[in-house]
Amino acid sequence: MLNKKVEKALNEQIKIEAQSSQVYLGMASWAERAGFQGCSAFLYLHSDEERVHMLKLIKFVNDRGGAAIIPELKQPEKDYKSLQNVFQQLNDHEEFVTQEINGVVDICLREKDYTTHNFMQWYVAEQIEEETLARNILDKLNLVGNDKGALYLFDRDLAAIKASGSGTPSK
């Protein structure tokens, strides 16, 4: 039977993953409307991946005899000032998620739930990749600035990057 404190923490994480998917879906839709097809494809994929992260947690909680709660979600932002703004928020969001995952890991250790601790290591590793990717994209975008030609190439490059990869956009 799943420890109650661990179950609560996992349910909170389910909500965070679901909200991440929702936020990235909002970003994808904005990028599509703004004409950044590559960024939009990347963000739609990233949104799908967050949903998979949520599902993985739901299955784990239920399989361990707990009750996974499907959360209510907030409406994500509709408008962004720029692509830089989108990816800055994505980067900040990933840093927030990492902290939350570390919090779950901490609870597992305090409650001596080594099974869940082991399960959570996948999320720890995933966050390292996602933070690296988000930072690399942001660095690249900051280099590009407002140069329209460079932004066009950046958008095209991003279409080629898998959201879960740790690669950087090519030059």
CB of 96 to ligand OFO, least distance (A): 8
- Measured between alpha carbons, how far is residue 2 from residues 58, 99, 154 in Å? 13, 22, 46
Amino acid identity, position 18: A
Q: How far is the CB of 28 from ligand OFO (least distance, A)?
A: 15
Output 134 or 151, the one with its CB closest to ligand OFO. 134
15 or 156: CB nearest ligand OFO: 15
C-alpha span between 3 and 128 (Å, rounded): 27
Could you list the residues that contact ligand OFO (CB under 6 A)? 17, 20, 50, 53, 94, 97, 126-127, 130
Looking at the Cβ atoms of 20 and 40, the one nearer to ligand OFO is: 20
- In the complex, least distance from residue 130 CB atom to ligand OFO, rounded to whole angstroms: 4
Q: For residues 128 and 160, which CB has a smaller minimum distance to ligand OFO in the complex?
A: 128
Do residues 74 and 19 make contact, with C-beta atoms less than 8 angstroms apart?
A: yes
Cα gap 52→126, rounded to integer Å: 12
| Residue 138 beta carbon to ligand OFO: minimum distance, rounded to whole angstroms | 15
Q: How far is the CB of 94 from ligand OFO (least distance, A)?
A: 5
